[in-house]
Structure 1
Amino acid sequence: MSTRITPVTSCSETEPLLVKSEFNMPGCRCRRPRCRDFGLGASEAGFFTRPLSQCCYDIIFFRILWYIYRLILPVIYITYLIWFWGFFNGVGAKAILFLTTWSVLGFTLYVIVAAGNVVWDRMCTCARDGAMYESDEPDMGVHHMFQWFLFNIFVNAEIIVAVVYWTIIHDGINDTEEWIHDITAHLAPAIFSLIDVFFSATPVRVLHFIYPLGYGVTYFIFAVIYWAAGGRGAGRNDDGTYTNYIYSFLDFEENLPMAMGFLVIMMITCMIVHLLIWGVYHLKKCLTRDTDERNDQTANSEFTMVKTNSHSIDDIRV
């Protein structure tokens, strides 16, 4: 991994600091995956708290905008969950049966952890140490790994949930409250997930497809166990009784082949979406590399000039 010298534009106006960035790696080559890439280690803490390009982060306006984005999402989704469970929810405890509910709860946890890491690693580190650069940050900790774990699962899941809901399940919006619920639960998380995919510096490893895949399989197993235990869905039959399935395409009693087909399609879709996210990650590395390299050249020449002037002053004193 290469290093570069960046002029200080943080809250500390001292000498330039060395900043490491995965986006500065020469070329846009991909290496062969290794077994340890299944894990969540061997990365840098700074990748989970800043946008994709260091030169963008060095601009105070974009830095503040990124902080606002990170900090406002938990407020939005905590408020939504309070409203949903307290006022709008019309199916009671059965709401927890839906994949949408699982994914919104998981996405809310993700944005809370991401905001917490920004506050701790960026703002608290800045106030304590007077700098906000990777060289002054703590090593990658469990809280960064947890954020990465949630990112891998719920960014993928929210994109799939949005596509499935708006193409297969959605049957029209009847009133304002339902419109708010549908947008907040079935569309906005996918939009925010795409913002994270395109603009955050969070690394994406191709072998991390196991996490969204495991999430989907876990939900499928839950649906099977719930049905086998005699559980009923939230929908109603013509006679007023509850349906024997959560979703019509998970009807294990009347249409088992469709349910098994859904499992296969879901597994394939999880892997495809993850590969697309991985591709976007490497594409943005290529797009930001040239910008950061030009910034490096300017920073290096400025640092060399300062260093030369410093030697000249020392010579005069001698």
Structure 2
Amino acid sequence: MASKGRFRQEFRLKSFGLNHGQPRDFTRSPWFSSPVPFLIYRTVTCLYQVCTYATAHSIYGVSPKSLIYLTELGYIILTVHSIVSAGFCFIDVFGISCRPKSPEDRPTFPNNDVTTARSTDAIHQTSQSLKLPWYYKGYWVFYNVVFGIGLYITIAYWALLADDTGPRSILFHAMNCVVIVIDVSVSALPLRLFHFVYPSAFALAYVIFTVIYWVAGGTDVNNNPWIYPVLDYGGNPAMAAGIAAGSVLVAVPLCHVVIFGLAVAREMLAGHVKRRSAKVDVQMEQRREHGLA
């Protein structure tokens, strides 16, 4: 029943918005009662992204023209996401250490004093809910783009191109997706179905860029008159238009749906674990009471 209500909420116009009653969900994990383990995870992920990006470009080289590729842009924004996420977690933990704890400091999951699971993406806010700061709203839009585009890059590359299976290609076209899946699974970041509009808007902007780049006579790193061979507007305009339209209207939204489904699975599993934990606590308390009696 809870899952049905969860999905019904997704098909309301307000689901396009950026309102969320628990700002702490942006800096916490549903799997830890303390924010410290999640802060460590964010720090390790940040270091991994920065180091792998720097190492890959120091080994294989980098040029300004590399920025025309969606793969490059996708890894850059994924790295920026890891830096911003770690920064928010540091600020969160530092702020808690400098002031008394309040009810808002408790993570959405787990809370052993509560016996029912509450979705990390509650659309209806109560009067006690905190107003979501503008920077979390911007962050929300940003990681929707990062996750949706990152998954699309992985699928599109191996389905349409896959002309290189070297270490750099594995890093940029496979490990990026692993990082995204882990991040969605261990974080409490809210995700909404209708937020597919954000990665789709990014994809549309990139498609427009590829058209302008082609019209202006731009070439790839090998001086071919395209950025990707499947986007050869001059040689095969029908295929290029189909790939471009299909990516923006179908592929990228479906990638967001996959990410959303993973987030829902995380919420359901975290809720189940929390209920089991609460049940065990109740049983232990009853045993202690019987022992005292």
- With structure 2 as the length reference, what TM-score do the two structures score? 0.79
Q: State whether structure 2 residue 127 is matched by structure 1 residue 145.
A: no
Q: State whether structure 2 residue 260 is matched by structure 1 residue 288.
A: no
Q: State whether structure 2 residue 246 is matched by structure 1 residue 265.
A: yes
Tell me, yes or no, if the aligned pair for 1:126 and 1:132 is still in contact at 8 Å.
no
Aligned to 1:164: 156
Shift in Å, 1:299: 6.5
C-alpha distance in structure 2 between counterparts of 1:81 and 1:285, whole Å: 31
Deviations along 1:276-313, whole A, 9 cap, x unmatched? 22222223322222322344456689999xxxxxxxxx
Tell me, yes or no, if the aligned pair for 2:25 and 2:190 is still in contact at 8 Å.
yes
Shift in Å, 1:198: 2.3
Larger relative contact order (C-alpha < 8 A, sep ≥ 6)?
Answer: 2
C-alpha distance in structure 2 between counterparts of 1:64 and 1:199, whole Å: 13
Shift in Å, 1:87: 4.7
Q: State whether structure 2 residue 102 is matched by structure 1 residue 125.
A: no
Tell me, yes or no, if the aligned pair for 1:100 and 1:161 is still in contact at 8 Å.
yes
Aligned to 1:134: 104
C-alpha distance in structure 1 between counterparts of 2:69 and 2:102, whole Å: 41
Tell me, yes or no, if the aligned pair for 2:24 and 2:105 is still in contact at 8 Å.
no
Q: State whether structure 2 residue 216 is matched by structure 1 residue 229.
A: yes
Tell me, yes or no, if the aligned pair for 1:28 and 1:285 is still in contact at 8 Å.
no
Change (3 A) 1:36 1:161: same
User: Identity across aligned pairs (percent)?
Assistant: 24
Aligned to 1:315: none
Q: State whether structure 2 residue 105 is matched by structure 1 residue 105.
A: no
Greater mean alpha carbon deviation, residues 218-227 or residues 162-171: 162-171
Shift in Å, 1:191: 0.3
The counterpart of 1:48, out of the listed 13, 22, 26, is 26
Aligned to 2:204: 217
C-alpha distance in structure 1 between counterparts of 2:25 and 2:274, whole Å: 15
Aligned to 1:71: 43
Gaps of 5+ in 1: 1-25, 236-241, 305-318
Deviations along 1:178-230, whole A, 9 cap, x unmatched? 51x22332221110101122222111111101011111111100000111111
C-alpha distance in structure 1 between counterparts of 2:196 and 2:135, whole Å: 20
Q: Over the residues paired in the alignment, what is the CA RMSD in angstroms?
A: 2.7
Aligned to 1:314: none
Shift in Å, 1:263: 1.5
Q: State whether structure 2 residue 230 is matched by structure 1 residue 249.
A: yes
Shift in Å, 1:170: 2.4
Shift in Å, 1:274: 1.5
C-alpha distance in structure 2 between counterparts of 1:101 and 1:132, whole Å: 42
Q: State whether structure 2 residue 6 is matched by structure 1 residue 27.
A: no
Highest CA radius of gyration, 1 or 2? 1
